[in-house]
Amino acid sequence: MSKRSHPTVIDLFAGAGLLSFAFQRSGFDIIQSVELDAAAANTYRANLGDAIRVGDVRRIHPLSQCDVLVAGPPCQGFSTLGKRNRSDPRNELCMEVVRWARRCDPSLIVVENVEAFLQAETWERLCNGLQRMGYETSAIVLNAVDFGVAQQRRRSFTFASQIGTPSVHKPRMKKCRTVLDAWTDLAPEPDGLNHHVSPAPSPLALARMKTIPPGGDKRDIMAAAPHLAPPSWWRVGCAVTDVWGRMQWDSPSNTLRTALQNPSKGRYIHPEQHRVISLREAARLHSIPDDWRFVGLPTQVARQIGNSVPPQLGRAVALACMRQLN
Ligand SMILES: C[S@@+](CC[C@H](N)C(=O)[O-])C[C@H]1O[C@@H](n2cnc3c(N)ncnc32)[C@H](O)[C@@H]1O
């Protein structure tokens, strides 16, 4: 372990810094983070300080060795929602983890991604590369809802270790945290304060929303108001059921992705009001604390939230790493 008083972390593809935040809260020093997107990096800096460098992970080098290397490479090429493009150039970015590991010699490496990453050929190459350097590799899939987050969100965590595999402890919970739990004490309607903002729907979107009951989705529009359904919906039928979805008070939300204020991209409509969720409501469903400062336009903030590891899940992973280092 490093001679600093706290074990050290380097965070690649750091986004707005929510995984760094979880490690920092768990007793780590974040010594270097790299992120391409300037707005995300500004949010990082506003909350966590100057460890962030804006740039391409492929063109930057480690400043020093570290105890833990964490990385959240882009997932579009692996996501089941995307086309699972095996030749998506972004898939190669995760191999940067091997290059950085060679330079900064961490005891532990954590790579977070979508569940389908574990089926990708790139994942095998990543593990083979790390094994050739002497690391033992393993992977688990964790659902944020099992860690007290009011959101169904399954993500893979690949560990590479020189000191044994970290074991992530799930908290004992009697029931899932729901949308209602997450929003208790929040103004029921967006008041414009602290990113509690939601775009006004267009007249067509409003008419569609009025036909959708709690837990309903695009199929309710097709059944109750067929004239509001475009021809493309009739062509594809009901294969994708989450779009134009309305949340339910007594359940966790479905996975929040980067376009979480676009009703045609997921289950993002308020349980009873005719609008998509506000950014603050999204942050609450992601276990991001109210004093976290977001920087950027609403679409950029939505991307920062949808891309991030919910801090409560990240903390369980960070504490597992801390136990393994001690
Ligand atoms: C899934 S997000 C990471 C989220 C982060 N772990 C968190 O918890 O907030 C992936 C990030 O990689 C960034 N990215 C994509 N290509 C990159 C590159 N070549 N170099 C650095 N960052 C890159 C994206 O801008 C995006 O913010």
Residue 160: the pLDDT is: 98
Could you tell me where the DSSP H helices lie in 197-268?
A: 203-209, 218-224, 231-236
DSSP string, 1-22: --SSSS-EEEEES-TTSHHHHH
Report the side by side order of strands in the sheet with 154-161: 52-54, 29-35, 8-12, 68-71, 108-114, 154-161, 136-143
Of ligand 1's listed atoms, the one at least distance from the Cα of 56 is 20
Which helix (H) or strand (E) segment is 157 a member of?
strand 154-161
- In this structure, the residues whose C-beta lies within 6 A of any atom of ligand 1 are 13-19, 34-37, 40, 56-58, 72, 74, 93, 307-309
| Class of CATH domain 179-305 | alpha beta
Which helix (H) or strand (E) segment is 46 a member of?
helix 38-48
pLDDT surpasses 80 at 80: no
Residue 88: the pLDDT is: 65
Grouping H, G, I as helix, E, B as strand and the rest as coil, residue 175 is: coil
Mean pLDDT calculated for residue range 126-136: 98
Of ligand 1's listed atoms, the one at least distance from the Cα of 60 is 20
DSSP string, 97-151: HHHHHHHH--SEEEEEEEGGGGGSHHHHHHHHHHHHTT-EEEEEEEEGGGGT-SB
pLDDT surpasses 70 at 84: no
Query: What topology is assigned to 8-171+310-325 in CATH?
Result: Rossmann fold (3.40.50)
pLDDT surpasses 70 at 5: yes
Helix (DSSP H) and strand (DSSP E) numbers for the chain: 11, 7
Distance CA 83, CA 106 (A): 33
Residue found by looking up tokens 């750091």 in the block: 14
Residue 76: the pLDDT is: 72
Average per-residue pLDDT for the chain: 94
Q: Residue 74 class from Cβ within 10 Å (0-12 exposed, 13-18 middle, 19+ buried)?
A: middle
Grouping H, G, I as helix, E, B as strand and the rest as coil, residue 221 is: helix
The pLDDT confidence band at residue 75, using thresholds 50, 70 and 90, is confident
Phi, psi (degrees; rounded to nearest 5) at 47: -110, -35
In eight-state DSSP terms, residue 72 is: -
**Prediction pTM value:** 0.95
pLDDT surpasses 70 at 82: no
Nearest CA to ligand 1 atom 7: 308
Residue 241: the pLDDT is: 75
What's the CA-to-centroid distance between 130 and ligand 1, angstroms? 21
Amino acid identity of 192? G
pLDDT surpasses 60 at 182: yes
Sign of the dihedral through C-alpha 252, 167, 288, 120:
negative
Which residues of the chain form CATH 3.40.50.150?
8-171+310-325
179 or 239, which is more confident?
179
pLDDT, tens digit (0-9, with 9 covering 90-100), for 213-229: 999 999 999 999 999 99
What's the CA-to-centroid distance between 79 and ligand 1, angstroms? 15
pLDDT surpasses 60 at 2: no
Phi-psi region of 26 (alpha: psi -120 to 50; beta: other; left: phi over 0): alpha
Which residues of the chain form CATH 3.90.120.10?
179-305
Strands in 13-88 per DSSP E: 29-35, 52-54, 68-71
